[in-house]
Amino acid sequence: YLILPHLSDPVIIITVAISILSFVITALLIPQTKDLNIKANLFGRDLNKGEQGKKMQVPESMGIVPGTTWVVTVCLLQVLVLSISPSNAKTMEWNAGLFSSCFMLFLGFADDVLELRWRYKLILPCLAALPLLTAYHGLTTIVVPKPFRSIIGSIPFLDWLSVTDNSDVIASGVITILELGILYRVYMLLMAIFCSNTINILAGINGLEAGQTFVIACAVLVHNLIELDGEFRDSHLFSLIYIVPFIATTLGLLCHNWYPSQVFVGDTFTYFAGMTLAVVGVLGHFSKTLMLFFIPQWLNFFISVPQLLFLHCPRHRIPKYNEKTKLLESSKNFTLLNAVLEITGPMSEENLCKVMMAIQIVSCAFGFYVRYHLSKLFY
Ligand code: UD1
Ligand code: MG
């Protein structure tokens, strides 16, 4: 009931109409362009299909199509939507966000072509986040959750994070708002690195990269629609203009990437998707809510830490395909996919992806519950 009234809003109608077009364009363009990628040696082997998969060449880096379509759509929407509902104050920041997503798309494509080593991959989001970090002139404060207010107030060295609150409150040792200053940019950078890499490493079975992105983006859209009447309408409107075509183009890609994959998304897509989600979360000022939608990615990240940092990290950490049963089994690598297989037992690739989608949807629903119910206890 919070969402329905917005569906007659002209801004939403235009955004949805043009996004449907961008879905159709993406879905039609991918089969047209995939042979070009194979010709350019941009293809991969489907690793979960056994001997049969070794013979096939699946076009890689097809994220370039939804990525490019998304950039064009957002540019068009900005012209159309902002002429109806002007909100100029934030345009520059959001354009910087667009720039960061574009830059990430380019660097992701470069990574696919050059096959960079794992440690260099971490540098890419840092470079791509630069436009966002430099153009940002918004809030650099955070609201301190209730249980931490007096704890933070009693830590002496935090004084230099000049607190923008009235001095009586500070004198009583209770801090409600912290001015992070330059640290806020560090926080934005960490968001960009986290989002792009965690989506990229929760991967390896057909449909997973695009599927998780699609579900998270839908959750972001619902959050924006709920908040559209709130105090921060402008931020959520911008986020919406970015996220609706993002959902559309991701869905266009998913049509071809779902099991059995006709195309692979490539790091082109995973990095671009992570950066775009980070951009809307940061500029829309709902990054904590966004992090709640990333619960499966957090889990996979925590499970992966030993292998990423301390143990030997193989090139691929995907489940093991059993040629006889045609099912996937745990490969004992440290990933969420293997953890799920350890619990459920062997499963087909398609079912495993469906289970992962279910986990992602439940996580987002839980995220909403925390955001709109539990958070009242903390803020
Ligand atoms: C990340 C993971 C790696 C995982 C890979 C799969 C880490 C540190 N890295 O590496 O463990 O194996 O993603 O994407 O966790 N592929 C399939 N089926 C799919 C998707 C991909 O077989 O549904 C294979 C294809 O051979 C494809 C390749 O994975 O060519 C793409 O791998 P890439 O995205 O380049 O791997 P990374 O992102 O480096
Ligand atoms: Mg990848």
Q: What is the mean pLDDT of residues 271-281?
A: 97
Measured from the CA of 335, which atom of ligand 1 is nearest?
A: 15
Q: Which amino acid is at 375?
A: S
Tokens of 131: 């436009």
pLDDT band at 158 (very low <50, low <70, confident <90, very high): low
Q: What is the pTM of this model?
A: 0.94
Q: Which of 193, 265, 301, 316 to mutate to test the pocket of ligand 1 (most atoms within 8 A of CB)?
A: 316
What is the distance between the alpha carbons of residues 191 and 100, in angstroms, rounded to a whole number? 13
Q: What is the mean pLDDT of residues 148-157?
A: 73
What pLDDT, on the 0 to 100 scale, is given for residue 36? 95
Q: How many CB atoms lie within 10 A of CB 95?
A: 15
3-state secondary structure of 169: helix
The residue nearest atom 7 of ligand 1, judged by CA position, is: 201
pLDDT band at 11 (very low <50, low <70, confident <90, very high): confident
- Quote the percentage of the chain above a pLDDT of 70: 94
Taking the centre of ligand 1 as the mean of its atom positions, its distance from the CA of residue 137, in whole angstroms, is 37
pLDDT band at 317 (very low <50, low <70, confident <90, very high): very high
Q: What is the mean pLDDT of residues 162-174?
A: 61
Q: How many residues does the chain have?
A: 379
- Quote the percentage of the chain above a pLDDT of 90: 68
What pLDDT, on the 0 to 100 scale, is given for residue 195? 97
Q: What is the mean pLDDT of the chain?
A: 90
Q: Which of 41, 47, 113, 312 to mutate to test the pocket of ligand 1 (most atoms within 8 A of CB)?
A: 47
- Greatest Cα-to-Cα distance within the chain, rounded to the nearest angstrom: 72
**Which one of the ligands is nearest to 208 CA?**
1
Contact by Cβ (8 Å): 133, 146: no
pLDDT band at 6 (very low <50, low <70, confident <90, very high): confident
pLDDT band at 98 (very low <50, low <70, confident <90, very high): very high
Tokens of 347: 């499963």
pLDDT band at 88 (very low <50, low <70, confident <90, very high): low
* Res 261 pLDDT > 90: yes
3-state secondary structure of 259: coil
What pLDDT, on the 0 to 100 scale, is given for residue 282? 93
* Res 290 pLDDT > 90: yes
Q: What is the mean pLDDT of residues 277-306?
A: 95
What pLDDT, on the 0 to 100 scale, is given for residue 234? 86
Residues 332-372 pLDDT 10s: 899 999 999 999 999 999 999 999 999 999 999 999 999 99
Taking the centre of ligand 2 as the mean of its atom positions, its distance from the CA of residue 141, in whole angstroms, is 34
- Output the ligand 1 site: residues, CB below 6 A: 44-48, 60, 200-201, 203-206, 261, 264, 267, 313, 316-318
pLDDT band at 118 (very low <50, low <70, confident <90, very high): confident
Measured from the CA of 313, which atom of ligand 1 is nearest?
A: 8
Q: CA nearest 247: which of 19, 3, 7?
A: 19
Q: What is the mean pLDDT of residues 312-322?
A: 92
What pLDDT, on the 0 to 100 scale, is given for residue 140? 86
ipTM: 0.98
Taking the centre of ligand 1 as the mean of its atom positions, its distance from the CA of residue 203, in whole angstroms, is 6
